């Protein structure tokens, strides 16, 4: 049975932030709970062949480099939105956040927009030094090539409240979103070789 969600201060502040800076967002969406006007997709896909530990480490490092370009050096609180696929919590990912207490995170259960899937969502407000982000990203990459049936996993949006940008690793791609397309240009040039042609064309219509 789905219990009534009693919103706390962190949840209400996050909702206001989304309404102001990312009004296309919908926390009840099946995918894309946070949505910006502009997104750049950078691929870490290794292909369908069997991969070595070194292959996975290389893909992980690419995704980590993008994350650090966005967040490294930022000392103020940032948001992390964890979206479970159902009501089973992704304990590994949750445990990569240190110093959690009732004042800096909230978990709730909701149905997605299809009203068919009940899932848990968690909003966390914390600082970068309290996030084992390398572990998180490396584990997501590892899971992309894990064929374990019914694997418990999640998706995590990391949101920079000052730059009004976000980072999402999902399905062998890093999505960097922004309300200002000019903030994405440096990522477009730096990671050009990892963007497929269709995504390049799509993005170029905004900057050329």
Rounded CA gap, 160 and 166, in Å?
6
pLDDT digits (tens, 9 = 90+) for 103-114: 899 999 988 887
**Is the predicted pLDDT of residue 7 greater than 80, yes or no?**
no
Q: Where are the domains of the chain?
A: 9-207
Q: Is the pLDDT of residue 97 over 70?
A: yes
Q: Give the model confidence (pLDDT) of 124-168 as tens digits.
A: 999 999 999 999 999 999 999 998 878 899 999 999 999 999 999
Stretch 181-204: mean pLDDT, rounded?
A: 97
Per-residue pLDDT at 187: 98
**How many CA atoms lie less than 13 Å away from 113 in the CB half-sphere?**
9
Distance CA 152, CA 134 (A): 19
Dist CA 23 CA 8 (whole Å): 20
pTM for the whole structure = 0.94
Q: Indicate whether 1 pLDDT > 50.
A: no
Tokens standing for 81? 């939105």
| Size of the chain in residues | 208
């Amino acid at each position: 049975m789905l219990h009534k969600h009693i919103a706390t201060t962190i949840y209400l502040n996050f909702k206001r932030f989304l309404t102001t800076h990312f009004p296309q967002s919908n926390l009840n969406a099946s995918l894309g709970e946070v949505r910006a006007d502009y997104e750049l997709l950078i691929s870490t896909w290794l292909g369908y062949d069997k991969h070595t530990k070194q292959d996975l480490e290389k893909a992980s490092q690419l995704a980590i480099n993008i994350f650090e370009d966005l967040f490294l050096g930022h000392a103020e609180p940032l948001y992390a939105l964890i979206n479970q696929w159902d009501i089973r919590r992704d304990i590994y990912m949750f445990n990569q956040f240190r110093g959690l207490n009732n004042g800096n995170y909230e978990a709730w259960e909701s149905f997605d927009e299809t009203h068919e899937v009940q899932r848990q969502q968690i909003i966390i407000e914390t600082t970068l030094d309290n996030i084992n982000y390398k572990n998180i990203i490396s584990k997501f990459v590892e899971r992309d090539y894990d064929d374990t049936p019914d694997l418990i996993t999640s998706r995590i949006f990391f949101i920079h409240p000052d730059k009004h940008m976000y980072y999402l690793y999902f399905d062998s791609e890093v999505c960097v979103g922004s309300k200002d397309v000019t903030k994405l240009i440096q990522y477009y040039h730096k990671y050009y070789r990892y963007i497929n042609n269709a995504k390049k064309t799509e993005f170029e219509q905004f900057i050329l």
